[in-house]
Structure 1
Amino acid sequence: MHHKKQHKKNNPWIPAMVTILLFVLIGLEGHLLFAPHDTAPATKKETLETTQSAIDRTQDAQIASNFNQEVQPTSDLAQQINQQLEDNSFIGTALVVHDGQIILQKGFGYANFAKKQVNTPQSLFQIGSIQKALTASLILQQVQAGKLSLDETLDRFYPTIQESEKITIRQLLSMNSGLYQKEKPSLMMSDEAFLQFDIANAAMGTYGQFKYDAINYYILVGILEQLTGMSYQKSFNQTYIQKLQLFHTLSYNDFLHSKDRTVAYENVSGKDYGTEIADKPLVFKQEIGTGSIAMTTGDLYLFFSNFLSGNIIDKETVDSFWTSETLRKFAGGMYNYKNYIRAHGIEEGFEPNVYFSKDKQDAVILLTNQYPKNHSNTLLGKTIFDLLGSYEN
């Protein structure tokens, strides 16, 4: 019997399918290389929240990573500002925003002179009293939520403090209570023990008279903890680290162990870095809510931008606090002017200066780790800010 030899026929569609498959693979590779890499499809709620959180931010501020990058001066204005910083022997990191764009962001001098580690946009500086602005915002959140009134009196929370039946939350925020602290802690304690010690040492000077004293904000921290049922640090983390994603904002302990920390110095006889100022955990850790965190220039910018955009507190609540009586005065951790705000702090060699327009278009942030005792950095910051626009005192 003869069997016919079977020949395999070439299917004409196979080359076509191979070609199509190649195009699909090439297209997929291109998508993976150049398309945004979302780990999961965004839900409608997530999309709305993301869109809402970006409202009123400047183009550069929408991408927080921009604040980790150096921006050299290219425009004539930016070069003029850079020259002023150099002429004034500024040491630290400077961030300048004009018309909603970063025009200068760079470090000057050393973060650690002994290690020859220079200051950069990633450098962390203690912000001192500017933390009071972040604490005031947490209190104003409670006002917005209806859990507290600006005109409520202190005796609801601390009836044993002298004249607490007359002192209002508004007065504490503006330091018009007349209170002062009789004694400061001399031993290391827990945060709760520090607060108890501070509040127990609150005393009345002249009621209703402005007196810049941290006791007002220690009391506000205690009130916040009573209202929320959680520690100040937890409230702080929920609002600023988790919600606003200020990942370059560190507690004092974390600051001490960060590779991006700066060391504070004192100019001695005209010599920069003349004396290294030693770390002082007791000094900083007792400043709960008033001066115990470190930030980069970028994170500090993002705080004020979000504050003015209504992403932390709504405009109605801010306006109820920023009345005409607060103009050119300390109010809620900052100084309120007609079309801009100013914030300042000094602590153990560190000095932050912030000037920020209320329309969020212009900002100057100078963070230094060598505080000049002639206050020249405050004047320098205002001089630079005035170059950006017309701002009324």
Structure 2
Amino acid sequence: MLSSGKAGVVVVHADRPTQTQQAQATAPQPTNPQLTVPQQVAKFKQLLQQNNWVGTALMVRHGQVVYYQASGYANVAKKIKNTTRTQYLINSTQKSMTAAIVMKVIANGQLNMTDRLSQWYPKVPNAKNITIRQMLDMTTGLEGPTATTKKALPAAKEATYLSQHLIFNAAKSGKWDYQSINYNLLCGIIQKKTGHDYQWWYEHEFVKPLALRQTSFSYQQSLTKSPRLAVGYAGNPKTNAIEYRRTKATDFTAGKQTRELGSGNLYMSPLDLFRAEAAICTGRIVSTADVNQLRTPGSTSSYGGGVYNRPTGYTIANGIGYGFSDMFVISNDGQNGLVLLSNLWRPKGQDQMFFYHLSQMEAFHQW
């Protein structure tokens, strides 16, 4: 159990590999730790300040929370500040937990890695040649969706709708191509196979067993009324200055919320997110042997099971969308890591490069 120490170009969603994701396959060799934990905390805090950080940041060392602080506003109009209990849209970092749920269904004997997409969505192009394993690894050649509904749809209908609005790119079949549609369809498959939708599985595997108190699906709360949920903003497109702007890119409509099925419609606090990821790493969701199988990269990208896998025993994930940007990096034993969740997206990509820098420091012990 984690405990608190005393130290206190517009995109809508990340369906394309970012500079961060592309760079993670060619990382430098690890170096030895140079700083003590208090010095690491001080350095972390300094880096956050230099980056004009807005959001909530968490550092965990040896299973203990050594830094957990928030800055900026969760809701400018209502003058509500971000806190350690604020929930942020976690975007694509959700895929790690979705992959774990799929692996749980496989471990239960209800699915196999070699099962074909055509068993559930036969009209998807090339579905007879696409396996569950390929969907988890994002090597299917599927792209999309090409359309989004205006209204929210139940999970089963959403997955069916998305299956009808995608394309198959034969040139990318068998090659890594970051496309959320793979995880959207996996959610539809587990519902068709087990009779329970994605939210049921998430609540039974994560929320209830781990007592996650600061976690909710976007469609469970009013994005404009709940003080618990941060509002997404866009910063100044030309500078790194703190500026809270509502734009079309930050508009998380009802249709978009269900369109991000299993791939980016969860709100969490950093501590809840770390607890969930630590539970995966330590075998609380599925066995560590299953985790190792799930997270074995299926391509040269190092991507496997919703995360990027570092050779020094760390996993990394990041996401961006609707005014939010986020990342986590966690050791495979669940004892050390960072989580940064922000509700102020900088259009020039400052946050993504900042995340990459921090993930390098953490995963390669460069503190």
* Closer/same/farther in 2, CA of residues 273 and 280 from structure 1, 3 Å limit: farther
Q: Could you report, residue by residue, the CA deviation over 1:119-139 in whole angstroms, capped at 9, with x for unpaired residues?
A: 111011000111211111110
* Closer/same/farther in 2, CA of residues 351 and 182 from structure 1, 3 Å limit: closer
State the partner residue of 2:21. Answer: none
TM-score by length of 2: 0.82
- Which letter does structure 2 place at the counterpart of 1:208? G
- Say whether residues 1:201 and 2:165 are aligned partners: yes
State the partner residue of 2:52. Answer: 89
Residue range with higher mean Cα deviation, 286-295 or 208-217: 208-217
Residue range with higher mean Cα deviation, 208-217 or 87-96: 208-217
State the partner residue of 1:258. Answer: 226
Q: Distance in 2 between matches of 1:347 and 1:301?
A: 20
State the partner residue of 1:371. Answer: 345
Is contact 1:355–1:382 with CA below 8 Å preserved after alignment?
no
Partner SS for 1:75: helix
Partner SS for 1:95: strand
State the partner residue of 1:231. Answer: 197
* Closer/same/farther in 2, CA of residues 188 and 88 from structure 1, 3 Å limit: same
- Which letter does structure 2 place at the counterpart of 1:275? R
List gaps (5 residues or longer) in structure 2.
Answer: 9-36
Q: Distance in 2 between matches of 1:226 and 1:383?
A: 41
Partner SS for 1:210: coil
Partner SS for 2:125: coil
State the partner residue of 1:25. Answer: none
State the partner residue of 2:334. Answer: 360
- Which letter does structure 1 place at the counterpart of 2:316? R
Cα shift at 1:165: 1.9
Cα shift at 1:321: 2.8
* Closer/same/farther in 2, CA of residues 205 and 325 from structure 1, 3 Å limit: closer
Aligned 1:315-326 pairs, distance under 5 A: 315-323=288-296, 325=298
Q: Distance in 1 between matches of 2:179 and 2:75?
A: 31
| Larger-Rg structure | 1
Q: Could you report, residue by residue, the CA deviation over 1:196-229 in whole angstroms, capped at 9, with x for unpaired residues?
A: 1111223311222322222211210111002211
Cα shift at 1:341: 0.5
Partner SS for 2:335: coil
Cα shift at 1:368: 0.3
List gaps (5 residues or longer) in structure 1.
Answer: 1-56
Q: Distance in 1 between matches of 2:184 and 2:38?
A: 44
- Which letter does structure 1 place at the counterpart of 2:176? F
Q: Distance in 2 between matches of 1:182 and 1:278?
A: 18
- Which letter does structure 2 place at the counterpart of 1:343? A
Q: Distance in 2 between matches of 1:254 and 1:158?
A: 28
- Say whether residues 1:288 and 2:253 are aligned partners: no
Q: 2:63 aligns with which of 88, 100, 109?
A: 100
In the alignment of these two chains, the number of paired residues is 328
Is contact 1:188–1:282 with CA below 8 Å preserved after alignment?
yes
Q: Could you report, residue by residue, the CA deviation over 1:250-304 in whole angstroms, capped at 9, with x for unpaired residues?
A: 0113342432211111122434234124452222222111111100001100011
Q: Distance in 1 between matches of 2:193 and 2:287?
A: 19
TM-score by length of 1: 0.77
Residue range with higher mean Cα deviation, 87-96 or 261-270: 261-270
- Say whether residues 1:275 and 2:245 are aligned partners: yes
Runs of 4+, deviation exceeding 6 Å: none
Partner SS for 2:234: strand
Q: 2:215 aligns with which of 249, 254, 260?
A: 249
Is contact 1:363–1:385 with CA below 8 Å preserved after alignment?
no
Cα shift at 1:372: 2.0
Q: 1:170 aligns with which of 130, 133, 150?
A: 133
State the partner residue of 1:140. Answer: 103
Q: Distance in 2 between matches of 1:151 and 1:278?
A: 38
Which is helix-richer, 1 or 2?
A: 1
Cα shift at 1:329: 2.3
Cα shift at 1:231: 1.8
Sequence identity (%): 26
- Which letter does structure 1 place at the counterpart of 2:164? A
Cα shift at 1:388: 5.1
Partner SS for 1:115: coil
State the partner residue of 1:306. Answer: 279
Q: Distance in 1 between matches of 2:357 and 2:89?
A: 23
Q: Could you report, residue by residue, the CA deviation over 1:155-209 in whole angstroms, capped at 9, with x for unpaired residues?
A: 2222232222211111001110001235212321422322211112233112223
